[in-house]
């Protein structure tokens, strides 16, 4: 190979190498990112809040008019400014006049209703006073009767005693005095003791009666309370009222029936009681007594006799009922007053009252019918059955059952059904009533037992005294001759009979006092409240008010005017249509000022607060207001990322509805290391970092590359971020811009 | 026939031996045209610690110029180092010529006291490996504040003893009669040196130049020791920078590095042979 050729090849080779050197360098520079660096600045972070909002009124005024008026003309449109007193719209005056006339007529009617209600109330008050007086009268009458009877019995007893003494004296005159005189003294002492015991017995009996009445009264009151608590609704209230009215009638058939049920349990049945009842009927007492006795006889005796001895039952019932016809006049009288009273109390008066009245009279008929049907076994059996049922059930439902039974027997089926329907709903559950009754009774059981014990003790003592007297007298008789003895025995028996009569009279007097007293108490129970008259009055007053308004509108010739300066925001009425109950017009009250409201984000909300001074500028930028305080910043109710800013505006600043821009900036403290936000990067783990340009030694000479530095962001706005001091100092060149993606270690070229 | 056969028998081991010697050349040449993945497959057991033995095919599976293109167009670093190498080598060559040729002429042609001692010192120094001279050189260069400059590599090589020794042998071979004739014709010392010495000793100068170039071209310890700045590094330090991931680039670089040396060798082959022979003919 020639040397020249080799030299040429060498030269070409080096030339090529030179070319490739240039080419490779050019290619290399293409891949290097050109970056801009900045040094961290010492500055404050400024948070700028910009928002666009609208101007709205502070207060809205609602313009209303009376409903159902025809609108003849509307003089404003939405968005129009009106001054105080400006005509807004007009309503038809003809229609208005008609309305006024209507209203006046209605008011007249209402006035009449008020008058009616008032007079009705007065009448019912009078009736009540009447019945109270009647009860009081009845009370004095029966006690007086009992007193007369008692004094008569006493007189008879005294006479019998006198006769006996006289006889004794005449007998004594024939004998030596000595021991005989002593005997007479002994007998006197015995008689005296018997008298005392009898008095004690009568007193005990009276106490027991009084206590029993007290218990029954307490039970009745407790039940009334329970029913008053549970009853609701007009129908049940009405029935309750009716029943109450019925039961409160003094000495009426109702009362008789009520007592009938109430007394059933109190009579601890014995044959003696029946006897007593028999005696008391003689006195011709009130209605209360008689049903009791009927009841008593039935309850206590019939169960046995129906099965065993019908004749005895017959006798008992005949005995007890025989007195009834004599009392019927009284009863009838009272029935009338009851039925009228209950009608009054129910005010409007519906069928049930009548039913009840009928039923009550049916109940009274019981007495009369009993009197007629005493000889028919079937009738008695029925009565007995029905009464037995009654005595077995609680008092509250007793009344009901009793009414029903009575109806079954003596009134029509139809009426019975009605009554049942009307009466039943007022009841609380029977279990509840039973429980109430049991509680009350349990409270009194001790006292009752004590009184009963006392009574039986008194009776025993009385019987012992009687026995002693009888024994003494028989001894005396044995000592006397047979003729005298017979006379003496007769006289002694007469005394004894008189004694018994006296006792019975005393008991009857007691009972009459208790029963009549009870009737008086019942009559004194206040009427149920009735406020229909006041209610009617109120309705009238309301009508009056409406009329006033109507007349006011008429006076204004049907014209509705603005009450204040404002801006019409909404019109709800239409020409030709009738006005509704709702607002006719809505207007912004300009006298109350207006405010600016805008929505900001949750992020912005951090930097703006109540009292911050903001500047507002109109959408076109022509108008600008500085340093207005923020009135409130409140979260939106539905979207938690939205907050509402409100700023009160001075008068005549912006128009309502105008779009206004809000500007506010808040400066933070000064940070020594702040970098543009473009320099801040986040890795996949959300760790913030910056890239700094770093010189390094390479084959190509001194080159620059990016190096990653993790940082802590203290605060940032949309342009700058404040970083914690540390790795980054004020001299660090931080890459803030790059023409290519730059990563940790990327070669970069810093543009100067 | 028998003669040919004998010659053939003789050549066979020689050819085999030549093949073994040439294998690295083949290795380098085929590696340049291989894909990166192919190279990784073959060399992984050596460079990446994979199992098995490294293997090498005679021809690449998928020949490509990719590595070469990448080296030439995408690796400006290679060219930085290439030109660094060239600069160092040429400077050394020039320096050796400027200082070595007169030194060798003086030693060969002048008689002065201690000449033998100086020659002995030259030989001793020539035989000393770099590792021995490294520390003193470093200290001296540091004192002269030449560290981390190309001068730190160039200057010691410029005053190397080896080219002086080679040229000494050539200058010694110039017959004294020629110099006598020149003197008679009125030539001074400089005229004799330039007009007679250099032309007659050209073979020695060239061969020492070629040897010096090859040595400085392949120099690796001196730049590694004295050069810290990467941009000053010669090409010999490029390959240590390359790992398995860029092994293709490495082959291409090696190939390109071979080219100047090969060209120089081919152009100075004749003188080189003479020079090597001259060095071998020691007194």
Please state the ipTM of this predicted complex.
Answer: 0.86
More confident site: A259 or B261: B261
**Residue A487 φ/ψ, nearest 5 degrees:** -60, -45
The answer to the question of residue B48 being in a domain is no
- Check A3 against B267: CB less than 8 A apart: yes
What is the pLDDT at residue B95?
A: 95
Using the predicted structure, report yes or no on whether residue B241 has a pLDDT greater than 50.
yes
The answer to the question of residue B4 being in a domain is no
Four-way CATH pick for A60-105+546-588: 3.40.50.11540, 2.40.50.100, 3.90.1150.10, 1.10.260.40: 2.40.50.100
Positive/negative CA dihedral, A216, A218, A221, A222: negative
Q: Which ranges of chain A have pLDDT less than 70?
A: 1-2, 172-184, 228-428, 480-483
Residues of A in contact with B266 (CB under 8 A): 1, 6
Which residues numbered 680-739 in A keep a CB inside 8 Å of some CB on B? Answer: 697-702
The secondary element (H helix, E strand) that includes residue A749 is strand A747-750
Domain that holds residue B132: 77-280
Distance CA A335, CA A349 (A): 18
A23 interfaces chain B, CB cutoff of 8 Å: yes
Helices (H), chain B: 2-32, 36-43, 66-74, 76-95, 101-109, 115-127, 130-143, 150-158, 162-172, 176-184, 189-191, 198-217, 221-226, 247-280
B230 interfaces chain A, CB cutoff of 8 Å: yes
Q: CATH assignment of A33-46+668-750?
A: 2.40.420.20
What is the pLDDT at residue A181?
A: 53
* B73 vs A24, A697, A700: nearest CB: A24
- Check A699 against B263: CB less than 8 A apart: no
What is the pLDDT at residue B67?
A: 87
The answer to the question of residue B10 being in a domain is no
Residues of B in contact with A699 (CB under 8 A): 77, 80-81, 230-231, 233, 238, 241
Distance to chain B for A737, nearest Cα, Å: 26
Spans of all domains in chain A? 1-31, 33-46+668-750, 49-58+589-667, 60-105+546-588, 231-428
Distance to chain B for A29, nearest Cα, Å: 10
- Check B73 against A27: CB less than 8 A apart: yes
* B263 vs A9, A20, A702: nearest CB: A9
Give Cα separations from A39 to A9, A690, A734 (angstroms): 53, 12, 6
What is the pLDDT at residue B148?
A: 92
- Check A23 against B72: CB less than 8 A apart: yes
- Check B83 against A3: CB less than 8 A apart: no
Count of structural domains, chain B = 1
* Helices then strands, each counted (H, E), chain A: 18, 21
What is the pLDDT at residue B85?
A: 93
Residues of A in contact with B272 (CB under 8 A): none
Residues of B in contact with A27 (CB under 8 A): 73-74, 76
What is the pLDDT at residue A310?
A: 42
- Check B231 against A21: CB less than 8 A apart: no
Residues of A in contact with B230 (CB under 8 A): 697-699
**Residue A658 φ/ψ, nearest 5 degrees:** -70, 150
Q: Report which of A536, A116, A112, A120 is spatially closest to residue A345, judged by C-alpha positions.
A: A120
B210 interfaces chain A, CB cutoff of 8 Å: no
| Among chain A residues, CA nearest to B234 | A699
* B230 vs A9, A23, A699: nearest CB: A699
- Check A7 against B267: CB less than 8 A apart: yes
Q: Looking at domain A49-58+589-667, does it have CATH number 2.40.30.170?
A: yes
B78 interfaces chain A, CB cutoff of 8 Å: yes
CATH of the domain at B170: 1.10.3720.10
pLDDT digits over B204-219, tens only? 898 889 889 989 998 9
The answer to the question of residue B69 being in a domain is no
What is the pLDDT at residue A183?
A: 61
What is the pLDDT at residue A296?
A: 39
Share of chain B above pLDDT 70, in %: 96
Distance CA B275, CA B206 (A): 8
The answer to the question of residue B123 being in a domain is yes
The answer to the question of residue B67 being in a domain is no
Using the predicted structure, report yes or no on whether residue B2 has a pLDDT greater than 70.
yes
What is the pLDDT at residue B100?
A: 93
Across all residues in chain B, what is the average pLDDT?
87
What is the pLDDT at residue A195?
A: 83
Mean pLDDT of B36-46: 83
A13 interfaces chain B, CB cutoff of 8 Å: yes
What is the pLDDT at residue B146?
A: 92
Contacts A–B by Cβ distance under 8 A: 63
The answer to the question of residue B226 being in a domain is yes
Distance CA A745, CA A106 (A): 98
| Among chain B residues, CA nearest to A703 | B231
More confident site: B86 or B277: B86
* B77 vs A6, A10, A700: nearest CB: A700
Yes or no: say if B248 and B174 are a contact pair by the CB < 8 Å rule: no
């Amino acid at each position: 190979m020639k040397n020249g050729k080799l030299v040429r090849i060498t030269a070409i080779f080096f030339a090529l190498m030179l070319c490739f050197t240039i080419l490779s360098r050019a290619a290399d520079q293409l891949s290097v990112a050109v970056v801009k660096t900045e040094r961290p600045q010492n500055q404050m972070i400024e948070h700028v809040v910009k928002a666009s909002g609208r101007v709205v009124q502070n207060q809205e005024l609602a313009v209303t008019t009376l409903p159902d008026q025809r609108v003849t003309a509307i003089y404003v449109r939405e968005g129009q400014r009106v001054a105080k007193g400006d005509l807004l719209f007009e309503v038809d005056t003809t229609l208005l006049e008609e309305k006024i006339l209507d209203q006046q007529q209605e008011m007249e009617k209402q006035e009449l209703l008020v008058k009616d209600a008032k007079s009705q109330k007065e009448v019912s008050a009078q009736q009540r006073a009447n019945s109270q007086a009647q009860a009081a009268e009845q009370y004095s009458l029966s006690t007086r009767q009992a007193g007369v009877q008692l004094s008569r019995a006493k007189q008879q007893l005294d006479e019998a005693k006198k006769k006996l003494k006289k006889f004794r004296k005449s007998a004594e005159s024939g004998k030596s005095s000595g021991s005989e005189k002593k005997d007479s003294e002994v007998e006197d002492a015995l008689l005296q003791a018997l008298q005392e015991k009898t008095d004690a017995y009568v007193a005990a009996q009276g106490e027991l009666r009084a206590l029993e009445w007290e218990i029954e009264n307490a039970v009745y009151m407790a039940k009334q309370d329970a029913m008053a608590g549970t009853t609701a609704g007009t129908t049940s209230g009405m029935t309750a009222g009716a029943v109450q009215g019925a039961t409160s009638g003094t000495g009426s058939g109702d009362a008789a029936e009520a007592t009938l049920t109430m007394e059933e349990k109190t009579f601890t049945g014995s044959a003696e009681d029946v006897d007593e009842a028999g005696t008391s009927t003689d006195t011709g007492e009130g209605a209360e007594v008689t049903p009791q006795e009927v009841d008593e006889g039935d309850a206590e005796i019939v169960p046995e006799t129906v099965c065993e001895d019908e004749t005895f039952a017959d006798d008992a019932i005949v005995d007890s009922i025989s007195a009834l016809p004599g009392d019927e006049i009284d009863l009838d009288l009272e029935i009338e007053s009851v039925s009228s009273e209950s009608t009054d109390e129910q005010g409007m008066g519906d069928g049930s009252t009548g039913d009840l009245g009928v039923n009550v009279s049916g109940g009274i008929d019981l007495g009369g019918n009993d009197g007629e049907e005493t000889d028919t076994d079937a009738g008695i059996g029925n009565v007995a059955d029905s009464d037995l049922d009654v005595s077995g059930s609680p008092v509250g439902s007793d009344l009901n059952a009793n009414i029903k039974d009575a109806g079954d027997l003596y009134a029509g089926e139809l009426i019975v059904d009605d009554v049942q329907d009307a009466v039943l709903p007022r009841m609380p559950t029977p279990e509840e009533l039973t429980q109430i009754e049991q509680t009350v009774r349990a409270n009194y059981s001790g006292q009752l037992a004590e009184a009963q014990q006392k009574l039986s003790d008194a009776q025993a003592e009385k019987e012992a005294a009687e026995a002693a007297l009888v024994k003494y007298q028989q001894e005396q008789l044995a000592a006397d001759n047979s003729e005298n003895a017979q006379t003496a025995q007769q006289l002694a028996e007469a005394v004894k009979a008189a004694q018994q009569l006296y006792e019975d009279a005393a008991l009857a007097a007691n009972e009459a006092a208790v029963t009549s007293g009870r009737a008086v108490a019942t009559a004194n129970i206040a009427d149920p409240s009735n406020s229909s008259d006041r209610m009617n009055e109120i309705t009238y007053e309301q009508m009056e008010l409406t009329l006033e308004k109507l007349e006011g509108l008429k006076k204004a010739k049907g014209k509705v005017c603005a009450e204040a300066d404002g801006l019409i925001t909404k019109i709800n009425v239409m020409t030709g249509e009738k006005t509704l109950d709702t607002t006719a017009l809505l207007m912004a009250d300009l006298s109350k000022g207006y405010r600016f409201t805008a929505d900001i984000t949750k992020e912005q909300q951090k930097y703006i607060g109540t009292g911050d001074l903001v500047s507002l500028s109109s959408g076109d930028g022509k108008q600008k207001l500085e340093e207005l305080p923020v009135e409130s910043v409140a979260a939106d109710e539905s979207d938690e990322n939205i907050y509402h800013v409100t700023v009160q505006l001075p008068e005549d600043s912006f128009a309502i509805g105008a779009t206004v821009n809000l500007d506010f900036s808040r400066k933070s403290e000064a940070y020594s290391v702040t970098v543009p936000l473009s320099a801040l990067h986040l890795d996949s783990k959300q760790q913030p970092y910056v890239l700094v340009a770093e010189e390094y030694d390479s084959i190509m000479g001194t080159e620059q590359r990016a190096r990653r530095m993790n940082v802590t962001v203290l605060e940032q706005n949309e342009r700058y971020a404040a970083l914690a001091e540390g790795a980054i100092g004020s001299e660090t060149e931080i890459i803030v811009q790059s023409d290519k993606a730059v990563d940790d270690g990327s070669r970069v070229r810093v543009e100067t | 026939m028998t003669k040919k056969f004998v010659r053939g028998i003789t050549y066979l081991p020689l050819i085999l031996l030549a093949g073994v010697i040439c294998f690295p050349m083949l290795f380098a040449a085929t590696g340049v045209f291989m894909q990166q993945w192919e190279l990784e497959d073959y060399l992984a057991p050596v460079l990446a610690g994979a199992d098995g033995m490294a293997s090498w095919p005679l021809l690449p599976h998928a020949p490509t110029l990719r590595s070469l293109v990448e080296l030439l167009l995408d690796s400006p670093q290679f060219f930085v180092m290439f030109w660094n190498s060239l600069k160092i080598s040429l400077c050394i060559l020039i320096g050796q010529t400027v200082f070595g040729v007169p030194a060798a002429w003086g030693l060969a042609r002048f008689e002065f006291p201690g000449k033998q001692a100086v020659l002995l010192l030259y030989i001793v120094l020539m035989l000393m490996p770099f590792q021995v001279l490294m520390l003193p050189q470093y200290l001296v260069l540091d004192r002269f504040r030449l560290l981390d400059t190309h001068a730190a590599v160039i200057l010691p090589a410029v005053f190397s003893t080896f080219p002086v020794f080679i040229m000494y042998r050539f200058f010694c071979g110039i017959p004294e009669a020629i110099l006598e004739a020149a003197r008679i014709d009125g030539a001074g010392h400089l005229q004799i040196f330039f007009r007679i010495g250099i032309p007659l000793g050209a073979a020695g100068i060239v061969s020492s130049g070629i040897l010096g170039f090859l040595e400085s071209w392949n120099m690796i310890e001196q730049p590694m020791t004295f050069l810290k700045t990467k941009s000053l590094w010669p090409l010999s330090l490029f390959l240590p920078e390359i790992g398995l991931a860029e092994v293709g680039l490495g082959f291409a670089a090696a190939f390109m590095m071979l080219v100047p040396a090969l060209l120089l060798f081919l152009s100075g082959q004749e003188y080189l042979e003479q020079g090597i022979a001259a060095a071998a003919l020691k007194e």
